[in-house]
């Protein structure tokens, strides 16, 4: 039988032909040969050369726990915990553990999500509904510093709210005065980051949450990055500005487990001060012939492995294990910071608080320097306004500090002409 021709979308000029559905299957050996060949073009995180997107510990025991937990729940569906009660129990325990980590009250509630973007989306949805039900707001807005994760603007787009981004101070933190100038009677949520992705600096969460509390407006402390960093820094004796539910104005927090919780992708938690607010997050549909459809996440069918991996690794490492990882990670961060600032013209942007930093050059084109690092196999984020290079430092990078700094010294000395305007994503 002749293979049918590939279909071409006539409405898209010069579009290449679509990949046809394979008429016959290939051997597993052939499939995996091609798969691993394609993978050679991907960012090299396994050798500690990628500073975003993946957060490996570099520990074989941790990788083994994650692999076994993922494989144990490879096919299960987290949509229905009544059919898979082990998943329901593990998810509840993970939510409790994360809530405890950020000092949520016992009257609080939490939900599991696929990542920080979904946690933020759910938080904004709940805030919109609370504004509608409790304050009669029909055309609401959310107010956040321009350094906040784009997921807040995306959530506003999805939920029909106005997104109001406000300026930063010269230290790259939220400008409190200017932020509250944009707040009005239709504001349903105010946001601060603890800490932010662009520069690793923590916003004045206490001031922001107090102002929100005075105005009767929910306040979201976004700790997608910081939730598994700041608590363990505190345990190591570092002075950390207040950022969690110990502040009475904090009403909700987003906490990614798949960043510095080191779990495989698809694991985040949204925590609320009051469990009753979760009702605004739940979609409940009772006229479907198969029965009532009720869930509290954006997705229906959900991968079960992130739940199992989260429970397994949090239980395996415990507070002591995470604290020791953080001790080593902060030492790695110190070495990077000292090595970067020792090079001519390089300067750290802002007072970063944890294992994330951005730096620029006061004399050279920092993007040209970053381009040279690209050619040497390092994958770095770019930031803008001002231009800089951003690094999210993971435990695996500890073994590669000297190599990185040697290549960076070469890049500073011989960086040529800027060619790239790459932007990094979480």
Concatenated DSSP letters of 304-327: SHHHHHHHHHHHHHHHHHHHHHHH
Q: What's the mean pLDDT when you consider all of the chain?
A: 93
Residue 415 is predicted with a pLDDT of 80
Q: Are residues 267 and 334 in the same domain?
A: no
Which tokens go with 339?
A: 């090595």
pLDDT score of 419: 47
Alpha-carbon torsion, ordered 320, 321, 326, 327, to 10 deg: 70
Residue 418: the pLDDT is 41
Number of Cβ within a 10 Å radius of residue 129: 18
Give the DSSP H or E segment for 24.
none
CATH number of the domain enclosing 106: 3.40.640.10
User: At 13, is the pLDDT very low, low, confident or very high (cuts 50, 70, 90)?
Assistant: low
- Report the distance separating Cα 137 and Cα 100, nearest Å: 32
Percent of the chain predicted with pLDDT > 90: 88
Task: Say if residue 284 is in the same domain as residue 331.
Answer: no
Q: Which domain holds residue 173?
A: 67-314
The answer to whether residue 9 sits within a structural domain is no
Q: Is 11 exposed, middle or buried (CB count within 10 Å of its CB: 0-12, 13-18, 19+)?
A: exposed
Strand partners, 201: none
Domain end residue (candidates: 270, 296, 314)? 314
Task: Specify whether 219 is located in the same domain as 362.
Answer: no
| Element holding 402 (H helix, E strand) | helix 401-413
Could you give the angle at the alpha carbon of 151 between the alpha carbons of 147 and 154, nearest 5°?
115
Per-residue pLDDT of 87-110, as tens digits, reads: 999 999 999 999 999 999 999 999
Over residues 326-343, mean pLDDT? 98
Using CA atoms, how far apart are residues 134 and 124, in angstroms rounded to an integer?
15
50 DSSP assignment = B
pLDDT at 127 over 90: yes
What percent of the chain is predicted at pLDDT more than 70? 94
- pLDDT value of residue 1: 44
DSSP, res 239: -
- Give a yes or no: residue 35 inside a domain: no
* 311 and 217 Cβ atoms separated by less than 8 Å: no
Let me know if residue 11 belongs to a domain: no
Residue 4 inside a domain? The answer is: no
- Helix/strand/coil for 219: strand
Indicate whether 293 and 171 sit together in one domain: yes
H helix intervals, 173-273: 176-181, 205-215, 230-235
pLDDT at 17: 86
Residue 424 lies in a domain: no
Least confident range from 57-61, 292-296, 348-352, 361-365: namely: 292-296
- In this structure, of 10-14, 112-116, 284-288, the range with the lowest mean pLDDT score is 10-14
Asked if 82 and 201 sit in the same domain, the reply is: yes
Output DSSP code: residue 354.
S
Same domain, 243 and 143: yes
Phi-psi region of 132 (alpha: psi -120 to 50; beta: other; left: phi over 0): alpha
* Strands 252-256 vs 219-222: parallel, antiparallel or unpaired: parallel
What is the distance between the alpha carbons of residues 180 and 219, in angstroms, rounded to a whole number? 12
The answer to whether residues 350 and 296 belong to one domain is no
> Residue 267: which of 259, 279, 257 has the closest Cα?
257
- Are 261 and 172 part of one and the same domain? yes
* Cβ–Cβ < 8 Å for 123, 254: yes
Separation of alpha carbons 155 and 117, rounded Å: 8
Q: Is 196 exposed, middle or buried (0-12, 13-18, 19+ CB in 10 A)?
A: buried
- Which residues touch 197 (CB under 8 Å, ≥6 apart)? 147, 149, 225, 356, 390, 426
Q: State how many domains the chain has.
A: 2
pLDDT tens digits, 52-78 = 899 999 999 999 999 999 999 999 999
Nearest residue to 224 via CA among 62, 371, 114, 104: 114
Strand partners, 141: 162, 187
Q: Domain holding 401: CATH number?
A: 3.90.1150.10
The reply to whether 334 and 354 lie within a common domain is yes
Query: The whole model's pTM is what?
Result: 0.92
Antiparallel, parallel or unpaired: β 346-348 and 293-295: unpaired
Residues 280, 360 within the same domain: no
303 lies in the same domain as 325: no
């Amino acid at each position: 039988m002749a293979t049918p021709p590939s279909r071409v979308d006539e409405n898209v000029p010069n579009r290449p032909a679509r990949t046809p559905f394979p008429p016959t299957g290939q051997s597993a050996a052939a499939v995996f040969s091609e798969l691993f060949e394609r993978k050679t073009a991907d960012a090299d995180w396994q050798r500690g050369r990628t500073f975003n997107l993946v957060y490996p510990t570099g520990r074989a025991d941790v990788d083994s726990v994650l692999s076994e937990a993922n494989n144990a729940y490879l096919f299960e569906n987290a949509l229905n915990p009544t059919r898979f009660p082990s998943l329901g129990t593990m998810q509840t325990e993970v939510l409790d553990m994360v809530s405890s980590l950020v000092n949520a009250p016992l009257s609080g509630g939490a939900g599991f999500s696929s990542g920080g973007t979904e946690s933020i989306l759910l938080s904004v949805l709940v805030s919109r509904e609370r504004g509608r039900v409790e304050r009669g707001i029909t055309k609401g807005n959310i107010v956040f510093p321009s350094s906040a994760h784009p997921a807040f603007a995306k959530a506003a787009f999805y939920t029909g709210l106005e997104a109001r981004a406000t300026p930063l101070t010269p230290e790259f933190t939220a400008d409190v005065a200017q932020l509250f100038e944009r707040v009005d009677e239709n504001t349903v949520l105010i946001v601060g980051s603890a800490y932010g992705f662009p520069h690793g600096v923590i916003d004045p969460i206490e001031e922001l949450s107090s102002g929100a509390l005075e105005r009767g407006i929910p306040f979201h402390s976004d700790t997608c990055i910081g939730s598994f960093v700041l608590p363990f820094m505190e345990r190591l004796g570092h002075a950390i500005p207040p950022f969690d539910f110990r502040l009475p104005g904090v009403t909700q927090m987003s906490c990614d487990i798949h960043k510095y919780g080191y779990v495989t992708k698809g694991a985040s938690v949204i925590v609320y001060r009051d469990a009753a607010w979760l009702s605004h997050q739940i979609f409940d549909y009772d006229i479907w012939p198969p029965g009532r459809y009720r869930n509290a996440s954006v997705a229906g069918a959900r991968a079960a492995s992130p739940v199992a991996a989260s429970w397994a690794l949090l239980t395996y490492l415990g507070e002591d294990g995470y604290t020791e990882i953080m001790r080593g990670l902060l030492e790695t961060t110190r070495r990077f910071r000292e090595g970067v600032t020792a090079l001519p013209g390089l300067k750290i942007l802002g007072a970063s608080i944890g294992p994330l930093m951005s730096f620029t050059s006061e004399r050279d084109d920092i993007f040209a320097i970053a381009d040279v690092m690209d050619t040497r196999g390092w994958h770095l984020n770019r930031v803008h306004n001002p231009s800089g290079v951003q690094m999210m430092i993971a435990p695996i990078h500890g073994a590669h500090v000297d190599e990185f700094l040697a290549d960076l010294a070469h890049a500073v000395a011989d960086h040529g002409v800027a060619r790239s305007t790459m932007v990094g994503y979480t």
